[in-house]
Amino acid sequence: MNAARRAVVATMAVAAAALTGCALPMTARNADMRSQQALRQSDRALAETRAEAARRRDTVTEMQTEMAKLAAHEAELTRELQAEHHAGGPTALPAVWGQTKARTESVFEMVTTQAAALAAARYQAPAQIPSVLKSLSYVDYGKIAFRGRLPGWPKDSPFHVSLYPAGYLFTWPVEIHVVTSHTTLLAQLPAVASSDPQLARRLPATVPTAGFSVYSHAANTPLVNEFLSFLGASYLRGVGLGEAWGSSARGVAVDTALPHRAEEFPYFRAFWIVAPGRNARHLGFCALLDSPSLTGAYRFIVQPGTSTVVDVKAVLFQRRKVRRLGIAPLTSMFLQGRFSDHRYDRLIRSAHDSDGLLIDTGNGPRVWRPLRNPHRLAVFRFPLKNPRGFGLIQRPRRAQDYRALGMNYENRPSVWVRPEGKWGSGHLLLVELPTDQQTNDNITVFWVPDSQGSPGRALAFHYRVVWTGGTPQGAKFGYVSATRYSYSAKRHSETYVVDFRGKRLADPALSTVQPEVWVHGAGRVTNAWVARNGAAGHWRLQFVVVRTGPGPVRVQAALADGKKQLTETWTDVFPLR
């Protein structure tokens, strides 16, 4: 019972006693004291409520102020880059890939030597940042910014680098160097918190860096485009022009989703950014990776644009045997889709950075695996030899597909990995984790080579990562546009409805389309049929898989015209429940 209600009850008790004429003076005085005590408690509760409301108003005001500051800082950056652009920056920049690559390769050789020497020594954890930075809240962390231009950075460069301060969740300092034609300079700038003098006084004299982001001009315009960010462990995230931040990549995955073994998160402990020339269209930089189990040298060459392309070369050295080594890992979020059987957020239709895994096996049509938010950890293997590509794809591109105001899911990019050279035999590993929030990344996929390497032996990989709003090149077959499920516990069966679209399927003369459905495991297919849905503009495939024994059943399906497959291959595993 709250204080106000106790006061009312006490007052009513006094009145009742007086009306009956049975109340003794002592009883009345006791009741009156209890009433006054309850009223004082009610006043205190009301004061606390008002204070909490005031604190919340202050927090909202503070966040609005910070948002205004960020907008002003972005406008300032825009004006700065516009001034450089109009001072003589060309509107059509010639390709200088060879220059950027040659300069970055020489740095890469140096970093590779460092990584090999580091792997031969005992692991040493990075120095701890000051406790005042560790204890920062999200709001206070957002108030801190570095001021000034990177030492050695060309004034006429088409790229701009912004540093992230260490603090809040990012507690490992990262060294960032600028490599010029004459020397290498450590990027260290003064940190300020101009909107909060009290916080500014608490900051240490030197605030370490935790990462960086890169900006450029949008093509043929003076607009500023932030297209790449490195922050936290070995994470990197990119966007194409006009896209929203979504899926990310990592340098490497170590012992992910192994039973009774914690995953290890290697981190980039140092970067060397090659100062670009005035006409550069590419930015090159290298990174040194470290962890208790391995070290690595990385070379990145990035080109922004409608799609952001990052060319990656990596050399890994193991300190100790890694049980599961993941190459070119991608990370994403899938909370719920348009036709998910469970709605975690009933106020929106969909919430995901990606809705499917696409695999180019190099042998026939591509493979599509729709993503799910499982009830428990789910791990899937896709054995391959010399894969040509894989990625986490965002196919729904209409705002009404999500109905999540302000989240921009329809503008979040797909991310695609294209191996360079032959990677040999191995498998893709898809890991899905349960989540009930949009802020948790719960999807990851990476390549696991059959040859996992060993201490003292270097492993090298070369690949490209592309963040794009379009479909990866080479998708000439019909594609999956939607997947629906209906499970029957009584019949031990799952009904699948898969919709396909594509130019080849839109041909009105196409009439002899047959369903092709395969199962691998203890199951059988029944009631498979396909029909054109003229109103919706797609072909619909429906079938039922019935379990005939224990264990999971891998299901594959496609549409065909005679012996010619018309679509990519849809695949899933039953049951997931």
Give tens-digit pLDDT for 314-330: 999 999 999 999 999 99
With cut-offs at 50, 70 and 90, classify the pLDDT of residue 355: very high
Task: Say how far apart CA 191 and CA 433 lie, in whole Å.
Answer: 38
CA-CA-CA-CA dihedral for 473, 413, 468, 302, to nearest 10? -130
In the predicted model, is pLDDT for residue 272 greater than 50? yes
How far CA 7 is from CA of 22, 25, 33, in Å, comes to: 21, 19, 10
Indicate whether 65 pLDDT > 60. no
Lowest pLDDT segment from 69-78, 328-337, 562-571: 69-78
- Confidence (pLDDT) at 155: 87
Domains and CATH numbers, the chain: 3-64 (no CATH), 95-324+457-475 (2.70.98.10), 331-451 (no CATH), 479-574 (2.60.40.10)
* pLDDT: which is higher, 220 or 434: 434
pLDDT level of residue 537 (50, 70, 90 thresholds)? confident
- d(CA 272, CA 289) in angstroms, rounded, equals 12
Least confident of 93-102, 391-400, 401-410: 93-102
Which of 50-59, 335-344, 382-391, 566-575 shows the highest mean pLDDT?
382-391
- Do residues 368 and 571 make contact, with C-beta atoms less than 8 angstroms apart? yes
Q: Which residue has the higher pLDDT, 562 or 273?
A: 273
DSSP assignment of 122-164, as one string? ---PPPPPPHHHHT--HHHHHH-EE-SPPTT--TT-SEEEEEE
What the block records as the tokens of 297 is 């040298």
**Cα distances (Å, whole numbers) of residue 353 to 154, 284, 335:** 36, 27, 9
pLDDT tens-place string over residues 459-478: 999 999 999 998 765 557 89
* Long-range own/partner contacts, residues 63-71 (CB < 8 A, 24 or more apart): 63/139, 65/195, 66/139, 66/142, 66/143, 66/195, 69/143, 69/194, 69/195, 70/142
Residue 42 pLDDT > 50: yes
CA distance 453 to 316: 9
Give the separation between CA 155 and CA 227, rounded to whole angstroms.
Answer: 20
Q: What Cα–Cα distance (Å) separates residue 533 from each residue in 133, 243, 432, 537, 565?
A: 58, 32, 32, 6, 19
Nearest CA-CA partner of 236 in 294, 275, 289, 280: 289
Average pLDDT over residues 393-420: 95
Using CA atoms, how far apart are residues 357 and 299, in angstroms rounded to an integer? 26
| Mean pLDDT, the chain, integer | 85
Could you give the angle at which helices 3-20 and 25-86 cross, rounded to 10 degrees? 160
Q: Is the pLDDT of residue 239 over 80?
A: yes
Nearest one of 250, 258, 408 to 329, comparing CA atoms: 250
DSSP codes joined into one string, 559-570: EEETTEE-BPEE
Instruction: Look at residue 73 in the predicted model and tell me its pLDDT.
Output: 44
The region of weakest confidence among 3-12, 292-301, 549-558 is 3-12
Task: For residue range 294-316, list pLDDT tens digits in order.
Answer: 999 999 999 999 999 999 999 99
